[in-house]
Amino acid sequence: MRILVQGAGVAGLTAAHELAGRGAEVLVVEKNPSIGGEASWRAGGMLAPFCERESGEQAVIALGQGAAEWWQAALPGLVTFNGTLVVAPPRDTAELRRFAARTERYSNHSADAIAALEPDLAGRFRAGLFFAEEAHLDPRQALEELHAKLTATGVRFRFGCTEAPQNERFDRVVDCTGMAARQHLPDLRGVRGEMLYLETREVTLARPVRLIHPRFPVYVIPRGGGRFMVGATMIESADDGPVTARSLMELLNAAYALHPAFGEARVVECSAGVRPAFPDNLPRVVEKDDTIFINGFFRHGFLMAPAFARKAADIVFADHPAKDRPHETCRQRAIA
């Protein structure tokens, strides 16, 4: 079985891993000159199905629950199993109750319990929720390590190109091109997410902390070495241009509300990514002739890509492949 995977974001790399693991010969083509650059590079890497249920469907839990174990098996040592802490300033305790009502598998935490988990937050919040079963990873490390592992196990990569060599033939094309697949998936839309990286030695956190805020839900994720990712806005737009002043102010205000020492932190990066999403905000595997599209990961690329890589691989290996067709022909048939 020879498979062409288009796109080396989280969808493409997890699909390549799953397909190669089942014995396929895989070539990955990536438009950018190296790994990263689009939505996957900007992600928080929270593997938080229970917290995500707050703003999503029940399916988020079913589709995301095995993700941490998948990543841990693929790249041992990558995942931090430390839970998620959700806190609210005193004026927003009603919002915390609303969050709790929409979620599950948490324990209520008092100020003392919050301080025991995160000593740097001692005395700052009277109430919180702790989701002990959740995990997180560093998305950039995940993408780079997955690329290295796939290369070492024989998956070929061609960067800076969108097509396979003319003389190569593939049984299937797996399109994981994110927003670029909009021409084939007309109901795909973009949800802009802006994020920052802050650097400070004055704050230590052991896990992602979500701050409930009536206007702007925010999270701060420790990345090690004094770095923290602060994210992320949710704007109905496919614009991936620079972060706006308003979003920058809101993200910084939220980080400052979590801990005032963030006021002295260095801003080492601010950028925006566009989350590809279908109208129901759930991903899909779409089959069009010889092409299988894996797309629509919205806020849940790292959380749900493993489940959808498995779904796509099930389709590939269940079917009778169309043999000996040149890649260009497959592509034209998909467009038609």
CA 66 to chain CA centroid, nearest Å: 14
**Member of 3, 4, 11, 74 binding ligand FAD (CB under 6 A):** 11
Site residues for ligand FAD, window 284-323 (CB under 6 A)? 295, 297-303
Residue 196 CB, nearest approach to ligand FAD (Å): 10
38 belongs to the binding site for ligand FAD (CB under 6 A): yes
Output 39 or 75, the one with its CB closest to ligand FAD.
39
Residue among 190, 217, 222, 231 that touches ligand FAD (CB under 6 A):
231
Stretch that binds ligand FAD, among 24-32, 116-124, 150-158, 323-331 (CB under 6 A): 24-32
Of residues 113 and 282, the one with the C-beta less far from ligand FAD: 282
Q: How far is CA 157 from the centre of its chain?
A: 21
CA 127 to chain centre: 28
Within 8 A by CB and 6+ apart from 98, the residues are none
Calpha distance 152→200 (Å, rounded): 36
Shortest Å, Cβ 112 to ligand FAD: 29
Is residue 59 within a helix (H) or strand (E), and if so which, with residue range? Answer: helix 59-64
Which secondary-structure segment (H or E) carries 284? strand 284-288
* Alpha-carbon dihedral sign for residues 81, 52, 94, 89: positive
CA gap 20, 13 in Å, rounded: 10
Per CB under 6 A, does 217 bind ligand FAD?
Answer: no
Q: How far is the CB of 243 from ligand FAD (least distance, A)?
A: 10
Cβ atoms < 10 Å from Cβ of 156: 14
Q: Residue 152's CB: how many other CB atoms inside 10 A?
A: 8
- Give the span between the Cα atoms of 292 and 176, in whole angstroms: 9
Q: Taking contact as CB under 6 A, which single stretch among the options 31-39, 95-103, 197-205, 261-269 is the one that binds ligand FAD?
A: 31-39
Q: Would strands 284-288 and 209-211 be described as parallel, antiparallel, or unpaired?
A: unpaired
Which part of the chain contacts ligand FAD (CB under 6 A), choosing from 9-17, 105-113, 199-207, 313-321?
Answer: 9-17
Q: Does 180 bind ligand FAD (CB under 6 A)?
A: yes
Concatenating the DSSP letter of every residue in 98-128 gives HHHHT--S-EEEEHHHHHHH-GGGTTT-SEE
Place of tokens 């990961």: 297
| Region near ligand FAD per CB under 6 A, out of 39-47, 150-158, 241-249, 260-268 | 39-47
Beta-bridged to residue 197, according to DSSP, are 229, 269
Residue nearest ligand FAD by beta-carbon distance: 9
Are 313 and 15 a contacting pair, CB within 8 Å?
yes
Subset of 254-283 contacting ligand FAD (CB under 6 A):
273, 275-276
Give the Cα separation of 69 and 156 in Å (integer). 26
CB of 208 to ligand FAD, least distance (A): 8
How does DSSP classify residue 263? G
* Residues that contact ligand FAD, how many (by CB under 6 A): 40
Comparison of 44 and 127: residue with beta carbon closer to ligand FAD: 44
Q: What mask of x and - would describe binding to ligand FAD in positions 75 to 94, judged by CB under 6 A? A: --------------------
* Interaction of residue 103 with ligand FAD, rule CB under 6 A: no
CA distances from 196 to 88, 203, 246, 306 (A): 21, 16, 13, 26
Residue 176 touches ligand FAD, criterion: CB under 6 A: yes
Is 42 a residue that touches ligand FAD (CB under 6 A)?
Answer: yes
Nearer to ligand FAD, 64 or 127 (CB): 64
Q: Which residues bind ligand FAD (CB under 6 A)?
A: 6-12, 29-32, 37-40, 42-46, 162, 176-178, 180, 193, 195, 231-232, 273, 275-276, 295, 297-303
